[in-house]
Amino acid sequence: MRRVLGRWTSGVIASAVACTPTPDEVLDPTVGNDDAEASDDAQIPATCGNGMLDPGEECEDGNDDQLDGCLVDCRYGPTGFITGMPFTTSLFGGSGSDVPDACPPGELLVALRGVTSAEGWLVRLQGFCGQPQLVLREDGGYLVEIADGSELSVYGNGAGSDGIARCPENQVAVGFGGRYGSRVDQLLLRCAPIYVFDGELGWEQSLGDPGDTTPIGGEGGGPIPETPCGEGFVATGVRLRVDQTVVAFGLECAPLVLQTGP
């Protein structure tokens, strides 16, 4: 299953739309997918490459750099990602001081590190961020790789066993689950890869099917209801309640938008 997100069009975020994959679509981030290939059938203007913007060209920079926003066929190309207005998911756990902690602009949440007390609940938490980067494939398409990013602050106090819930390589958090009661007993992240492809309306992006990380924490409490960021949204930070320890957890989420053009 592939879910198409927004795209950048003259400074406006296009509406998210559903996309049903065809059988020949490949959603493997190590090889990309067929839709991500540059169109061999594109009608390239005869003047393309002369360094001057001519009729029929979206852009013209006279070079072969496929990552500068202007492709060799004089169409706008993808350059990177931004996120839109964030929102906070429901928080699960007890009462305490509200603490938001967001990744820096251009970074997305990819991991949680926690300390589990002898009683079996999480007493300390820290988020880790990653940077989505476009990588050009040999066939002219694009991969989205997640480079190391920033470490968020450590919240809560207490000793115990250390654990980490980390998204697979080149995936980002799109939701969470776990267990809770009056505190946070267990957490896991739901993660998905990002794809970029040349669609009917130009360059677009999508999220692959989500999967769960290894959980951190204990087995007490009851299950946290499935809490996705939402269609076309990714996690951009954490939202906690804290007293002496971490007592509640949620995510900050935002729409992910592909930028195109110089």
Question: Rounded mean pLDDT of 78-94?
Answer: 95
Q: How far apart are CA 2 and CA 33, in angstroms?
A: 11
pLDDT(204) > 70: yes
Please choose, from the candidates 7, 2, 63, the residue with its C-alpha nearest in 3D space to the C-alpha of residue 27. 2
pLDDT of residue 11: 32
pLDDT of residue 45: 66
Please choose, from the candidates 28, 45, 63, 65, the residue with its C-alpha nearest in 3D space to the C-alpha of residue 197. 28
Query: Beta-carbon neighbour count of residue 245 at 10 Å?
Result: 21
pLDDT of residue 118: 94
User: Mind listing the pLDDT tens digit for each residue in 137-180?
Assistant: 888 789 999 999 999 999 999 899 999 999 999 999 999 999 99
User: Mind listing the pLDDT tens digit for each residue in 12-70?
Assistant: 333 333 333 443 444 444 444 444 444 444 566 667 878 788 888 888 877 888 888 88
Q: How far apart are CA 106 and CA 259, in angstroms?
A: 12
Domain ranges across the chain: 86-256
- Percent of the chain surpassing pLDDT 90: 63
Top CATH class of 86-256 equals mainly beta
Per-residue pLDDT band for 7 (boundaries 50, 70, 90) equals very low
pLDDT of residue 141: 84
pLDDT of residue 34: 44
pTM, entire model: 0.80
CB within 8 A of 85, min separation 6: which ones?
254, 255
Which comes out higher in pLDDT, residue 62 or 202?
Answer: 202
- For 145, 210, 211, 219, the CA distances from 177, given in Å and listed in that order, are 24, 12, 11, 13
- For 29, 35, 80, 261, the CA distances from 194, given in Å and listed in that order, are 8, 13, 12, 19
The three state secondary structure string of the chain is CEEECEEEECCEECCCEEECCCCCCCCECCCECHHHCCCCCCCCCCCCCCCCCCCCCCCCCCCCCCCCCECCCCCECEEEEEECCCEECCCEECCCEEEEEECCCCCEEEEEEEEECCCCCEEEEEEEEEEEEEEECCCCCEEEEEEEEEEEEEECCCCCEEEEEECCCCCEEEEEEEEECCCEEEEEEEEECEEEEEECCEEEEEECCCEECCCEECCCCEECCCEECCCCEEEEEEEEEECCCEEEEEEEEEEEEEEECC
pLDDT of residue 261: 82
Q: How far apart are CA 171 and CA 166, in angstroms?
A: 9
Q: How far apart are CA 258 and CA 139, in angstroms?
A: 20
What integer best gives the mean pLDDT of the chain? 84
Q: How far apart are CA 123 and CA 205, in angstroms?
A: 37
221 in Cβ contact with 241 (< 8 Å): no
